[in-house]
Amino acid sequence: MEQENEKLYRMRHSLAHLLGGAVKEIWPDAIIATGPAIENGFYYDFDFSTPVTDKDLGKIEQKMRELVKKVKSFNKAEISQKDAEKLFAGNPYKLELIKEYAAEGKVLTTYTSGDFTDLCAGPHIESMDEIKNGAFKLERVAGAYWKGDENNKMLTRIYGLAFSTKEELEAYVKKMEEARARDHKKLGKELGLFVFSELVGPGLPLYTFKGAIVRKEIINYSSELQRGIGYQEVHTPNMNKAELFKVSGHYEKYKESMFKVMSNYSKEEYFLKPMNCPQHTQIYASEGRSYRDLPVRIADSANLYRDEKTGELNGLTRLKCFCQDDGHAFCREDQIKEEFENILGIIKKSLETYKMNYTIRLSLWDPEKPEKYLGGAEVWNKAQKILEDILIDNKIDYIRAVGEAAIYGPKMDIVTKDSIGREWQISTIQLDLIMPERFGLTYTDKDGKVKTPMMVHRAIIGSPERFMGILIEHYAGAFPLWLAPVQVKIIPIRENHNEHGEKIAKELKALGFRIDCDTKDGNMGGKVRDAKNNKIPYTIIIGDKDIEANKISVESRDNGQLGQMDLKDFIEKIKTEKEGRK
Ligand SMILES: [Zn+2]
Ligand SMILES: [Zn+2]
């Protein structure tokens, strides 16, 4: 794999040279800056005297293909600073680099491919045969400041894509097109699910009534699943005194990511909470506990706040305010196995419902660097063995990630794959060997001794808001019935059908379905189109024939025309679909 990556890197980098050569053949006065390999391809920055745009990509690419055939290989030569300055006279970018490299004591080298010579340290491909036909293409033109500094001149950057084979390139392009079409920021707006406001602030979405329904359904499902394995919900404040985070260790390690809250009446330091765990220890600590009371399982969907950098925010997938389907179990050591198995069970069930595959990454400590972790080898080895045995016993696929554990314990990270094959880490189950001790939590064991419980942190799908963003892309906005903000749209053909349509709407609403009966003026074609654009699972058309036959005509978003049917049968159908979260 390493070798493959290295090979691909050299190929991408070599293509950047060919891009430079092609551009110089077409625009001899273009000044070349730099052209590295990047993830999925390469780019080259140019200083053009006339604007070059996406329209020019075709002819540049054509020229590159000619060069792949014509140029045999790259010829390397060492060059003195003086000669290099002579070679690149009139090119301020290369002259700046030559000076820098020389000052660093680097040996300067050039690589020549055909008529094109570039200042470069290599390495490149041995022969142009390594570039497979159709395995690269130019992607787009963008502006880029020299050295990324906005005080410098804006150059023209030409991006290219390159893979080992034509098939890989095509698969990547297809995946990107698919991802763009599914972008949750775009679809979220089209479907009217959430909005951002300059006045409210970045990373703080406002969910419309439609988006709030989807969010709530996700939360309700997680609540139902966790209730099934003994979790009870609590309600907790969004902020607390700094002292709590001093005891938990977050104040020391996490302060930069927390919002500080100031009181008008005291100098006491408060923070908005970035996680629920420290507060939950105080619910545990509020009563004396015996071994018989354990596990104590607490679930919480309070809002959490993280002071993310604005540039790192992204739609719903990176936010400043969100919640989690979060929970903590305080248990005895002999209960860890069952706790983890129960949680893995509901995660499995949940992701099956959402039709997502997943893998588990078992994050372990690095035994070579025990100083990075809290607690000693004995307790770590024991805890890690328990977790790994659970995965083996339950035949769950997992990969081991040595050195990826949290400082306070090993964890299982749940990584899902969406419908177009992208991976998302959604949640973790963590064993915490430390926090209960920090907070002095205890229980009285069978033998009368006072002991420290263990703590399991867990989520099912993680943050419902972030997961909603992932789901919009996963379903391309076409939510299954149970999640859909509007489940059935009723369209009376003419005004005299409105009354009948409204009667059906009333009956369906009374059964708890989310119905939109469109009796507004306007033609039927427009109303049907609106139902399609909003990706509503079912549309009922009401006309004379339906009223006469006392039936409804149903169209399914996913299965097309279902024809006339009794309302009773339709109700039975959507009831089954909703209750089974199909
Ligand atoms: Zn090079
Ligand atoms: Zn936690």
> Using one digit for the tens of pLDDT, what is the confidence trace for 524-565?
899 999 999 999 999 999 999 999 999 999 999 999 999 999
**Total length of the chain:** 582
Maximum CA pair distance of the chain?
95
- Calculate Rg over the CA atoms of the chain: 30
Least confident of 118-127, 183-192, 327-336, 435-444: 118-127
What are the pLDDT digits (tens) for 24-42? 999 999 999 999 999 899 9
pLDDT band for position 342 (cuts 50, 70, 90): very high
- Distance from residue 122's CA to the centre of ligand 1 (Å): 5
Side-chain-side CA neighbours of 489 within 13 Å: the count stands at 25
Secondary structure, 3-state, 305-355: ECCCCHHHCECCCECCEECCCEEEEEECHHHHHHHHHHHHHHHHHHHHHCC
Element (H, E) at 427: strand 423-432
- The span from the first CA to the last CA of the chain, in angstroms, equals 40
Q: Note the pLDDT of residue 374.
A: 80
Element (H, E) at 576: helix 567-579
Q: For the chain, what percent of residues have pLDDT higher than 90?
A: 86
Q: Note the pLDDT of residue 517.
A: 96
Which CA distances in Å does 291 have to 277, 402, 411, 429, 438?
Answer: 21, 33, 24, 23, 20
- Distance from residue 152's CA to the centre of ligand 1 (Å): 24
Parallel, antiparallel, or unpaired for β 398-402 and 321-322? unpaired
Burial 75-96 (b: 16+ CB within 10 A, else e): eeeebeeeebbeebeebebbee
Asked if the model's pLDDT at residue 3 lies above 80, the reply is no
- Looking at per-residue confidence, does 222 or 407 come out higher? 222
Query: Is the omega angle on the peptide bond into residue 492 within 30 degrees of 0, that is, cis?
Result: no
The CA distance from 149 to 378, in Å, is: 51
Tokens of 512: 């708890």
pLDDT band for position 58 (cuts 50, 70, 90): very high
Query: Is 323 noted as a catalytic residue in this protein?
Result: no
The residue type found at 278 is P
The CA distance from 418 to 475, in Å, is: 9
Q: Which ligand is nearest to the CA of 281?
A: 2
The CA distance from 172 to 38, in Å, is: 15
Query: Is 569 noted as a catalytic residue in this protein?
Result: no
pLDDT band for position 289 (cuts 50, 70, 90): very high
Phi, psi of 300 (to 5 degrees): -155, 135
Which CA distances in Å does 261 have to 31, 130, 204, 318, 319?
Answer: 53, 59, 17, 22, 19
Query: Is 326 noted as a catalytic residue in this protein?
Result: yes
**Residue among 277, 323, 331, 517 flagged as catalytic:** 277
> How crowded is residue 66: how many other Cβ atoms within 10 Å of its Cβ?
15
> How crowded is residue 574: how many other Cβ atoms within 10 Å of its Cβ?
20
**Residue among 280, 457, 497, 527 flagged as catalytic:** 457
Q: What SS3 state is found at 572?
A: helix
pLDDT band for position 148 (cuts 50, 70, 90): confident
Across the range 474-482, mean pLDDT stands at 97
Query: Is 487 noted as a catalytic residue in this protein?
Result: no
Q: Which ligand is nearest to the CA of 119?
A: 1
**Residue among 320, 411, 458, 497 flagged as catalytic:** 411
The CA distance from 48 to 236, in Å, is: 59
Q: What SS3 state is found at 108?
A: strand
Q: Which ligand is nearest to the CA of 125?
A: 1
Paired with 400 in beta bridges are: 362
Alpha-carbon torsion 460, 458, 415, 273, what sign? positive
Q: Note the pLDDT of residue 392.
A: 93
DSSP 357: E
Query: Is the omega angle on the peptide bond into residue 367 within 30 degrees of 0, that is, cis?
Result: no
DSSP 156: E
Query: Is 411 noted as a catalytic residue in this protein?
Result: yes
DSSP 40: T
Q: Note the pLDDT of residue 150.
A: 84
Helix residue ranges per DSSP H, 32-141: 57-70, 81-87, 92-103
299 and 169 Cβ atoms separated by less than 8 Å: no
* 70 contact partners, CB below 8 Å, separation of at least 6: 114
Across the range 470-499, mean pLDDT stands at 96
**Residue among 324, 384, 430, 487 flagged as catalytic:** 324
pLDDT band for position 420 (cuts 50, 70, 90): confident
Q: Note the pLDDT of residue 1.
A: 47
Q: Note the pLDDT of residue 5.
A: 84
pLDDT band for position 408 (cuts 50, 70, 90): confident
DSSP 414: E
**Interaxial angle between packed helices 209-227 and 336-353, expressed in degrees from 0 to 180 and rounded to the nearest 10:** 140
- Distance from residue 327's CA to the centre of ligand 2 (Å): 7
Tokens of 352: 């099956």
The CA distance from 11 to 386, in Å, is: 45
Q: Note the pLDDT of residue 108.
A: 95
* Dihedral in degrees, nearest 10, Cα atoms 21, 23, 26, 31: -100
Mean pLDDT of the chain: 94
Paired with 318 in beta bridges are: 314
Alpha-carbon torsion 437, 443, 446, 449, what sign? positive
Nearest one of 205, 76, 132 to 469, comparing CA atoms: 205
Q: Where are the beta strands (DSSP E) in 438-518?
A: 443-444, 450-451, 454-459, 488-492, 515-517
Query: Is 324 noted as a catalytic residue in this protein?
Result: yes
Alpha-carbon torsion 44, 50, 56, 59, what sign? negative
Q: Which ligand is nearest to the CA of 122?
A: 1
87 and 79 Cβ atoms separated by less than 8 Å: yes
Q: Which ligand is nearest to the CA of 430?
A: 2
pLDDT band for position 2 (cuts 50, 70, 90): low
- Using a CB cutoff of 5 Å, list residues around ligand 2, an ion: 277, 457
Asked if the model's pLDDT at residue 234 lies above 70, the reply is yes
The CA distance from 94 to 100, in Å, is: 10
Across the range 56-68, mean pLDDT stands at 95
The CA distance from 341 to 356, in Å, is: 19
Query: Is 457 noted as a catalytic residue in this protein?
Result: yes
419 and 339 Cβ atoms separated by less than 8 Å: no
Q: For the chain, what percent of residues have pLDDT higher than 70?
A: 99
The CA distance from 42 to 295, in Å, is: 54
Across the range 487-502, mean pLDDT stands at 95
Q: Note the pLDDT of residue 427.
A: 87
Tokens of 102: 């020389």
- Distance from residue 139's CA to the centre of ligand 1 (Å): 20
The residue type found at 277 is C
